[in-house]
Amino acid sequence: MSQRLPPSVVVIGGGLAGIAASVQLAGAGVSVTIVETRKQLGGRATSFIDPDSGELLDNCQHVLLGCCTNLIDLYERLGVADRIQWHPQLYFCAAGEHASNEQAIDVLEADDLPAPLHLTRALMAFKTLGLAEKLAITRGMLAIIRFGKCRSKLHGQSFFDWLTGLRQPAGAIRKFWAPIITSACNELPQRVAADYAIQVFQEGFLAREDAYVMGVPAVPLVKLYETAGQAIQEAGGRVMLSCRADALVYEAEHVTGLRVAHEGTIIADAFISTVPCDRLRRLCPPAMLQVDGRLRRLDQIEFSPIIGVHLWYATTSDRPVMTLPHLVILDSPLHWIFNKATNHDDLNAGQHLHGVISAAHDLVNVPSDAIMAMVDQEVRKAVPAARDRELLRARVVKERRATFSAVPGVEDLRPPAIGAIPNLYLAGDWTRSGWPATMEGAVRSGYLAANAVLKDQRRSTESLSSLDAAPLYAWLTS
């Protein structure tokens, strides 16, 4: 009697989308081979060893919010949810003269009012906003609530144009709407599609009382993915690191294999590509581009850069440079400062801060030394204790193609998981995940691709985790 072998799937790319797809398939009994060019899993959301100090550093600070339900689900599957520190208080400050007064720091924290009212009192207490700006922001939030699920009709215009049409003052845009959206979507309000931005506020700030709470990994990012490889291998799969995918093999209207440098051709029943869109296009022979409409316009998707700057300031245990866990900086080319010091660090050796610049279109080609000097200057403006401290060292990390650019019209270019080639499935934050370019979007896309594979193999699928809206918000948007 012949024995039916379990179906096999090759997952190309070991970022969050590839990890999510692989873990879900492995849990369903599917034999998975994950192929990753780098030496570790994690893709762009990972860590590297600093050649100067030997320290493990993140490419850039990645955070999640309470509304990132599928990313949280993945962390729970991997058994690393306890490695996320949650911050119910978000700290904002203005650069310049306001920063010299520590009392000028504004705190966004929910109170006991039901969503979507839970952040209203905190926002009304912001010292960086005038009364007219606060009232305008309130009008803007009411308009966002009224849109409900109909936000897609706004995809053709920028968020900035939508805000100006709503008569939002320049100060409200500059000091509230822009900092949040630039960080969340990695794109400027003048460039980001209005529906993506509105989704951020609907799901991240309005729908539920804890949706805005920020989670920050308490360990280097690469430490979050160690158990993923173990889970895949324990289920009979394979993790191939430091392996470069060269080309997909296309025969008889199906993908039959993946050519891997120095490894030959891997044969499987199905293939999930989670690599960036430009990389996928290079893997496809011309015949695939002609047959599958998902692949034809991948070269039209643009990218948006992120710059991360690691800084170490001279300090002592009784005189730290920064005590807050983070700061959102307003009216500054530097958007965030994260305090990377822990209770176990020897601050006598210097305090580690990390600056983040999102949508860094104007800076990505600037020399690293100039970026470092600018960020150091902005840190000293925003953090008074840093002004008399020596900058011991710094490292600039440029992610030129950090995310796809969430501009108006890009949704038409984002492909779904399934298409004309029946055993080729697509995932990645740039695919049609239902979310902008975020880690949540990447995980959602991986789960969607895995579900598509399981459905085609007539196996049980899993529903994506969704955000349970608070009753008042659900009633207002119904």
Asked whether 232 and 32 are in contact (CB, 8 A), the reply is yes
Same domain as 250, residue 224: yes
Main-chain phi, psi angles of 266, to 5 degrees = -95, 125
Same domain as 418, residue 288: yes
Q: Give the residue among 221, 226, 242, 240 at the shortest CA–CA distance from 308.
A: 221
Same domain as 283, residue 412: yes
What the block records as the tokens of 256 is 């039959």
- 94 sits in which H/E element: strand 90-94
Asked whether 454 and 25 are in contact (CB, 8 A), the reply is yes
Same domain as 391, residue 454: no
Q: Which of 355, 373, 404 is the last residue of a domain?
A: 404
Q: What pLDDT tens digit does each residue of the chain (478 aa) get?
A: 333 445 699 999 999 999 999 999 999 999 999 999 999 999 988 898 988 888 899 999 999 999 999 999 999 999 999 999 999 999 999 876 444 455 579 999 999 999 999 999 999 999 999 999 999 999 999 999 998 888 999 999 999 999 999 999 999 999 999 999 999 999 999 999 999 999 999 999 999 999 999 999 999 999 999 899 998 999 889 999 999 999 999 999 999 999 999 899 999 999 999 999 999 999 999 999 999 999 999 999 999 999 999 999 998 778 899 999 999 999 899 999 999 987 666 677 789 999 999 999 999 999 999 999 999 999 999 999 999 999 999 999 999 999 999 999 999 999 999 999 999 999 999 999 999 999 999 999 999 999 999 999 988 889 899 999 999 999 999 8
Same domain as 413, residue 399: no
In a domain, 38, yes or no: yes
In a domain, 111, yes or no: no
Same domain as 368, residue 418: no
Same domain as 314, residue 295: no
Q: Which of 209, 231, 253 is the last residue of a domain?
A: 209
Q: What is the pTM of this model?
A: 0.94
In a domain, 106, yes or no: no
In a domain, 471, yes or no: yes
Dihedral, CA of residue 48, residue 50, residue 51 and residue 54, to nearest 10: -100
Asked whether 473 and 145 are in contact (CB, 8 A), the reply is yes
pLDDT of residue 98: 44
Same domain as 30, residue 73: yes
Is 150 exposed, middle or buried (CB count within 10 Å of its CB: 0-12, 13-18, 19+)?
exposed
Same domain as 378, residue 427: no
What the block records as the tokens of 292 is 């599958």
In a domain, 8, yes or no: yes
Same domain as 377, residue 323: yes
Q: Which amino acid, one-letter code, is at 52?
A: D
Chain centroid offset of residue 89 CA: 20
Q: Give the residue among 194, 256, 241 at the shortest CA–CA distance from 422.
A: 256
DSSP strand pairing (56-58 vs 47-49): antiparallel
Asked whether 182 and 359 are in contact (CB, 8 A), the reply is yes
Q: How far apart are CA 371 and CA 368, in angstroms?
A: 5
DSSP strand pairing (351-357 vs 303-313): antiparallel
pLDDT of residue 344: 60
What letter would DSSP give residue 7? P
How many angstroms separate the Cα of 8 from the Cα of each of 247, 257, 364? 18, 11, 41
In a domain, 99, yes or no: no
Q: How far apart are CA 357 and CA 75, in angstroms?
A: 26
Provide the number of structural domains found in the chain. Answer: 3
Asked whether 45 and 437 are in contact (CB, 8 A), the reply is no
pLDDT of residue 101: 53
CATH number at residue 52: 3.50.50.60
The 3 state secondary structure assigned to 100-151 is HCHHHCEEECCCCCCCCCCCHHHHHCCCCCCHHHHHHHHHHHHHHHHHCCHH
CATH number at residue 321: 3.90.660.10
Same domain as 269, residue 124: no
What order of strands is seen across the sheet that includes strand 254-260? 245-251, 254-260, 264-267
In a domain, 398, yes or no: yes
Same domain as 413, residue 287: yes
pLDDT of residue 273: 98
Q: Which of 385, 404, 423 is the last residue of a domain?
A: 404
Q: How far apart are CA 159 and CA 407, in angstroms?
A: 10
Domain that holds residue 268: 1-86+217-299+408-478
In a domain, 96, yes or no: no
